[in-house]
């Protein structure tokens, strides 16, 4: 009678571990040493161990040019020069299937026969010009440049030329002094030198005042760098577009003339929005402690200071387009361009001050009311 107990599930539950082929028997008294792959003996490791520990960018296939050079060395032929790279045009000239996905410039060069930098012939013509033409002095004086008439505002008048020559002229030292002190690149000026002569000729009054307004914590060099960034931005910006609703000062030059003269650009923007007056609140002028709004006229420097203060306030509210030390100077330059184009909110401040001054002009005679009675 067979047994009722089934031994197959019991045998499946048991784990059988095979005996290793070689047994490790430690030697008594021997010191066990472990050697890693970083001790310079990786050349004696088996190939499986080398493959297992290699990175993803290791053991790559050789380049096509390298394979061609080795094949040429074996067969005794002349392969590609490995000191220079293989021109892409040579590969595309042989592979017609890959040529379909190449840029149009390479396709044109292959069709023209220029299949490499060594075989290419220098072209004698260009589809574009890389040299800017300089206008001659007679063209500037006559108002003609390249057959096109220049605007009259861009041509300096005789008075402006004479004034410029007067500023550039500098009295020289006598010839005896020039002969005694030779070796100078430029002729020596006459002595004594004018006081603060360099400062008067090098710096514009508007640039100097704006630089002082930009200065913080006495750091004049930082303010001068910001001023240079502002003028450079105005110089490289495209010509502005004038707004008929916000007219500038009378006699303003054409818009294309402003980027050529960034100092004029800055001066025109400041003087155009500079208010003519300010509102002073005087308490008790009307009696009973009631304050009166009295308009007070401003001088030239006061007007420019108020205008540039408005520009700085508006520029501080703008968002920066990047990062760096020149971001604030860039925002100031953008605000100046917005002032010229009539897009800035500074125009509303100027209009509000003038409206309030027009309304409060009747308060100018408050001191003479008692004498009239």
Instruction: Kindly report which listed range (91-95, 197-201, 247-251) carries the lowest average pLDDT score.
Output: 197-201
Q: What is the pLDDT of residues 339-354, one digit of tens each?
A: 999 999 999 999 999 9
pLDDT greater than 80 at residue 124: no
Q: Which of 222, 234, 170, 233 is nearest to 200 (CA)?
A: 170
Q: Give the pLDDT confidence score for residue 196 in this predicted structure.
A: 57
Which pLDDT band, with edges at 50, 70 and 90, does 371 fall under?
very low
- State whether residue 169 is helix, strand or coil: coil
Which pLDDT band, with edges at 50, 70 and 90, does 68 fall under?
confident
pLDDT greater than 60 at residue 361: yes
pLDDT greater than 70 at residue 15: no
Letter string b/e over residues 174-210, b meaning 16 or more CB atoms within 10 A of that residue's CB? eeeeeeeeeeeeeeeeeeeeeeeeeeeeeeeebbebb
The CA distances from residue 203 to 72, 223, 301, in Å, are 71, 14, 16
Compute the distance between CA of residue 213 and CA of residue 313 in angstroms, rounded to an integer.
12
Q: Give the pLDDT confidence score for residue 110 in this predicted structure.
A: 77
Instruction: Kindly report which listed range (72-76, 138-142, 304-308) carries the lowest average pLDDT score.
Output: 138-142
Q: Give the pLDDT confidence score for residue 52 in this predicted structure.
A: 54
What is the reported pTM? Answer: 0.50
Residues 235-240: what's their mean pLDDT?
93
Compute the distance between CA of residue 67 and CA of residue 13 in angstroms, rounded to an integer.
57
Residues 202-231: what's their mean pLDDT?
91
Residues 134-141: what's their mean pLDDT?
48
- Find how far residue 50's CA is from the centre of its chain: 51
Which pLDDT band, with edges at 50, 70 and 90, does 270 fall under?
very high
Cα-trace Rg, the chain: 42
Residues 150-171: what's their mean pLDDT?
68
Q: Give the pLDDT confidence score for residue 132 in this predicted structure.
A: 44
Cis before residue 192, ω within 30 degrees of 0?
Answer: yes
Q: What is the per-residue DSSP string for 242-302?
A: --SSS--STTPPPGGGTTT-HHHHHHHHHHHH--SEEEEEETTTTSTT--EEEEEE--HHH
Q: Give the pLDDT confidence score for residue 58 in this predicted structure.
A: 63
Residues 189-217: what's their mean pLDDT?
78
For tokens 């008439």, what's the residue? 149
Q: Give the pLDDT confidence score for residue 344 in this predicted structure.
A: 92
* Top-confidence residue, 315 or 160: 315
């Amino acid at each position: 009678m067979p047994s009722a107990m089934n031994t197959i599930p019991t045998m499946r539950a048991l784990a059988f571990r095979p005996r290793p082929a070689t047994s490790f028997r430690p030697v008594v008294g021997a010191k066990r040493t472990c050697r890693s792959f970083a001790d310079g003996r990786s050349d004696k490791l088996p190939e499986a161990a080398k493959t297992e520990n290699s990175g993803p960018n290791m053991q790559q296939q050789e380049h096509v040019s390298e394979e061609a050079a080795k094949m040429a060395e074996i067969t005794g032929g002349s392969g590609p020069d490995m000191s220079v790279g293989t021109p892409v045009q040579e590969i595309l000239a042989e592979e017609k299937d890959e040529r379909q996905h190449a840029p149009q410039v390479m396709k044109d060069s292959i069709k023209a026969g220029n299949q490499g930098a060594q075989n290419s012939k220098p072209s004698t013509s260009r589809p574009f010009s890389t040299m800017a033409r300089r206008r001659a002095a007679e063209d500037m004086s006559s108002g003609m440049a390249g057959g096109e008439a220049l605007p009259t505002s861009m041509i300096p008048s005789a008075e402006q030329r004479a004034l410029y020559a007067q500023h550039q002229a500098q009295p020289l030292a006598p010839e005896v002094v020039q002969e005694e002190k030779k070796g100078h690149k430029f002729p020596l000026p006459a002595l004594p030198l004018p006081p603060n002569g360099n400062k008067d000729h090098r710096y514009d009054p508007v640039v100097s005042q704006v630089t002082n307004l930009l200065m913080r914590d006495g750091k004049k060099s930082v303010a001068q760098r910001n001023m240079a960034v502002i003028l450079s931005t105005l110089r490289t910006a495209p010509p502005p577009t004038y707004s008929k609703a916000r007219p500038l000062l009378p006699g303003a030059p054409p818009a294309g003339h402003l980027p050529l003269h960034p100092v004029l650009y800055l001066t025109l923007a400041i003087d155009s929005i500079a208010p003519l007056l300010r509102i002073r609140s005087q308490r008790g002028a009307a009696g009973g402690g009631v304050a009166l709004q009295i308009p007070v006229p401003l001088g030239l420097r006061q007007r420019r200071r108020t205008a540039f203060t408005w520009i700085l306030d508006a520029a501080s509210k703008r968002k920066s387009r990047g990062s760096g030390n020149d971001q604030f100077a860039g925002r100031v330059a953008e605000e100046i361009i917005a002032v010229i184009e009539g897009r800035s909110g500074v125009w509303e401040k100027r209009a509000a001050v003038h409206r309030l001054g027009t309304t409060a002009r009747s308060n100018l005679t408050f001191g003479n009311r008692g004498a009239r009675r």
